[in-house]
Amino acid sequence: MIQITWDSNRCTSPRQCRKCLDACPQGVFMTYPRDGRKPGELTENWCVAPLFLSLCTGCQICEEICPENAIALSAG
């Protein structure tokens, strides 16, 4: 099973960049609010995480496209 890790120290503005979200041909990724969503506030801190991990083929397009090298694939 392929593992995908996302480094929050390297990826600081996922919703501005969005490269992995758009580049993945399988649509594996999702974004979610790092600290949850608070009523009355716009969410500012986001994470990227794999949602449909079973669809990942290990093509590594996400690793290649990330300008911050925040994504790493490893064979499980």
Complex with other proteins: residue 49 or 72, whichever CB lies closer: 49
Residues in the chain: 76
Of 5, 10, 30, 35, the residue at the interface with other proteins (CB under 8 A) is 30
When asked if residue 29 is in the footprint of other proteins (CB under 8 A), the reply is yes
Complex with other proteins: residue 30 or 64, whichever CB lies closer: 30
Backbone dihedral angles phi then psi of residue 16, each to the nearest 5 degrees: -85, -35
Of 15, 35, 57, 58, the residue at the interface with other proteins (CB under 8 A) is 15
C-beta separation of 74 from 2 below 8 A = yes
Shortest Cβ 31–other proteins spacing (Å) = 5
Contact partners, residue 36, CB within 8 Å, separation at least 6: none
Complex with other proteins: residue 33 or 69, whichever CB lies closer: 33
Distance CA(66)–CA(53), nearest Å, equals 18
